[in-house]
Amino acid sequence: MKLSKNFTNPLAANNPVIVQILGICSALAVTVKMEPALVMGLSVTFVTAFSNLVMSLLRNGVPSRIRIIVQLVVIATLVIVVDQFLRAYMYDLSKQLSVYVGLIITNCIVMGRVEAFALGNKPWDSFVDGVANGLGYALILLLVAFFRELLGSGTLFGIDILNRFGYVGNSLMLFPPMALIIVGCIIWVHRTINKDLQEK
Amino acid sequence: MAINKNSNVYIILYTVVMVAIVGALLAFLATTLKPRQDENKLQEKKVAIMKAFGDAKANFDESVTVYRLNGTELTEVAKEQQPVIFEELEKRGDLAAATENLPLFKYAKGSTVKYVIPMVGKGLWGDIWGYVSVEPKEGNVTITGIVMDHAGETPGLGAEIATDAVQALFVDKKLYDESNAFAVRMQKGGAKNEYQVDAITGGTKTSDGVNAMLKECIGKYEAFLKAEAGMAVADTEVTSEEVACAKCAECPERETCVKDCKKSCEECATCDNQCEECEECEKQCAKASENVEPVKVEEK
């Protein structure tokens, strides 16, 4: 199955976090451990994909003067849906994620893709674009969380990996600035490989 | 298209329909999911109470009996009525103000009888709350476990009250000192006696909040707990004649401080013989409190 460019671009070449530099706040906050990072990544994917889909379906009927307001309403509704589901079915995780699920609406990736893509493209393409951007975001979150959890707590997904060898967790890894440094390193590696992304 | 999408009528109609649909959808979702969400919160409370009892894996419904306390009288609460108690625990403002029909949880295993007291208080940025489990034994009441949580204290500082490390500090601390006064507290600068635990560095205000919470909430159950432990109910030391001097009165350390003084500070000031205990008392008051200016002890 040939994957369309809509799907593959946001995963690497046009990744929302390391290329478009969007969604950084939550990338710092929820990546202390891998499990919340995964849930957050999936939540953002869900919200971005379905906001894109809904807005694309509505794009011909929305009055242009209240375009942004309608986008906000759609995104906010989806975020509330996700939050309510987490509180009902994954309560412990929803407490760990606390306010950050509600803050998905402030994640620039969601509004950014709706404005840039969904309003000018067909529903299926928009949906795919939303999924891909969400997954691109999730990928980076998981990568950052991988390092932070492994080096900061010696575990991955809660399973002890390093502690049995007498490893003592590096507390610095548990603080947000470390996440920023890791994201910076990922951007560095990514741009070294993709030379065309380097600014002149 | 015949409809002008930018006309005011269309915009207003569009907005109204959109809001109606979204409102209905979210209301439907909220009511459908509410029972599950409430069940989750209930389970969380039960697990916290069992954790305070020291038996996190045990089943709440099998091991714990729920009571209402009035003065020193216990009335058992039947299983069907227990949801009411848990709803009261949600309403922290009302729980803080309550003085009768207080909820109490009892756990008995073999010859050990423990009680869990639900507590609420104010931290630096918001509410704090918790469950403390106490065991009346050997003429005193000992803390056997505590679980605390908060609404918005600073991570790494005040928020540490929710960690196992800080909560473990309270285990095996006796509530009442030799003069039967409430002595458990988080002490800034490190625990100074066997009743105190270290306060959180950088989390002074939250630690003060915990102290107030412990004192006020456990205080409501004091008569009952002391009766269970076979202790004299009234404080044996401080009578109305022993008044601390004015500076000591403002000092937060007053409770423990004045106990050490056998005579009031004003008495000492007019006394011909230097009251060594008072001198120590005033000095300790001044050192321990940041708000009170250092007091110059009058040499007579």
A57-87 pLDDT tens trace: 999 889 888 999 999 999 999 999 999 999 9
CA distance B22 to chain A (A): 7
User: Is the pLDDT reported for residue A6 higher than 90?
Assistant: no
Is some CB atom of chain B closer than 8 A to the CB atom of A172?
no
User: Is the pLDDT reported for residue A182 higher than 90?
Assistant: yes
ipTM: 0.78
Going by the DSSP 8-state scheme, the letter that residue B125 receives in this structure is: S
Task: Answer for the pair B179, B235: CB distance below 8 angstroms, yes or no.
Answer: yes
- Quote the pLDDT of residue B240: 39
Continuous segment of H or E residues that includes residue A59: none
Q: Which residues of B touch A91 (CB under 8 A)?
A: 37, 40-41, 43-44
CA distance B88 to chain A (A): 21
Q: Is A120 helix (H, G, I), strand (E, B) or coil?
A: helix
Label residue A55 by pLDDT band (50, 70, 90).
very high
Residue B95: both structure tokens together: 């729980």
Q: Which residues of B touch A80 (CB under 8 A)?
A: 26, 29
Outline where DSSP puts E strands in B123-253.
127-137, 140-150, 185-187, 196-198
Q: What is the pLDDT of residues A113-125, one digit of tens each?
A: 898 888 889 999 9
Q: Which residues contact A107 (CB under 8 A, 6 or more apart)?
A: A22, A23, A25, A26, A44
- Quote the pLDDT of residue B235: 54
Is some CB atom of chain A closer than 8 A to the CB atom of B14?
yes
- Quote the pLDDT of residue B207: 93
- Quote the pLDDT of residue B269: 47
- Quote the pLDDT of residue B299: 41
Q: What is the mean pLDDT of chain B?
A: 80
Is some CB atom of chain A closer than 8 A to the CB atom of B57?
no
Q: Which pairs from B175-178 meet CB under 8 Å and 24+ separation?
A: B175/B134, B175/B140, B175/B141, B175/B142, B175/B143, B175/B218, B175/B225, B176/B140, B176/B141, B176/B226, B176/B231, B177/B256, B177/B259
Closest chain B residue to the Cα of A86, Cα to Cα: B37
Closest chain A residue to the Cα of B22, Cα to Cα: A77
User: Is the pLDDT reported for residue B290 higher than 60?
Assistant: no
Minimum mean pLDDT range among B5-19, B99-113, B285-299: B285-299
Q: Which residues contact B144 (CB under 8 A, 6 or more apart)?
A: B53, B54, B114, B133, B134, B135, B171, B172
Cα dihedral B232/B237/B243/B244 (nearest 10): -120
Q: What is the pLDDT of residues A142-176, one digit of tens each?
A: 999 999 999 988 888 888 888 888 888 888 888 88
- Quote the pLDDT of residue B127: 92
Burial class (CB in 10 A: 0-12, 13-18, 19+), B238: middle
CA distance B108 to chain A (A): 29
Closest to B63 in 3D by CA, of B47, B80, B85, B86: B47
Q: What is the mean pLDDT of chain A?
A: 87
pTM score of the predicted model: 0.70
User: Is the pLDDT reported for residue B134 higher than 90?
Assistant: yes
Mean pLDDT of B31-36: 94
From first CA to last CA, the distance across chain B in angstroms is 101
Q: What is the pLDDT of residues B57-107, one digit of tens each?
A: 888 888 888 999 988 888 898 888 888 888 888 888 888 888 888 999 999
Distances, alpha carbon B256 to alpha carbons B192, B209, B249, B253, in Å: 11, 18, 12, 6
User: Is the pLDDT reported for residue B278 higher than 70?
Assistant: no
Residue pointed to by tokens 């590096």 = A170
Closest chain B residue to the Cα of A66, Cα to Cα: B11
Interface contact flag, B11 A63, Cβ < 8 Å: yes
Task: Answer for the pair B60, B49: CB distance below 8 angstroms, yes or no.
Answer: yes
Backbone dihedral angles phi then psi of residue B163, each to the nearest 5 degrees: -90, 155
Q: 3-state SS string over A5-27?
A: HHHHHHHCCCCCCCCCCCCHHHH
Label residue B292 by pLDDT band (50, 70, 90).
very low
Beta-strand pair B102-109/B73-76? unpaired
Going by the DSSP 8-state scheme, the letter that residue B33 receives in this structure is: H
Continuous segment of H or E residues that includes residue B111: none
Is some CB atom of chain A closer than 8 A to the CB atom of B5?
yes
Label residue B210 by pLDDT band (50, 70, 90).
very high
Number of neighbours of residue A172 by Cβ within 10 angstroms: 12
Distance CA A27, CA A148 (A): 12
- Quote the pLDDT of residue B244: 44
Interface contact flag, B37 A84, Cβ < 8 Å: yes
User: Is the pLDDT reported for residue B252 higher than 70?
Assistant: no
User: Is the pLDDT reported for residue B283 higher than 70?
Assistant: no
Backbone dihedral angles phi then psi of residue A160, each to the nearest 5 degrees: -65, 125
User: Is the pLDDT reported for residue A45 higher than 80?
Assistant: yes
Mean pLDDT of A37-66: 92
CA distance A171 to chain B (A): 11
Minimum mean pLDDT range among A21-35, B92-106, B269-283: B269-283
- Quote the pLDDT of residue B233: 65
Minimum mean pLDDT range among A10-14, B110-114, B150-154, B169-173: A10-14
Mean pLDDT of B257-270: 46
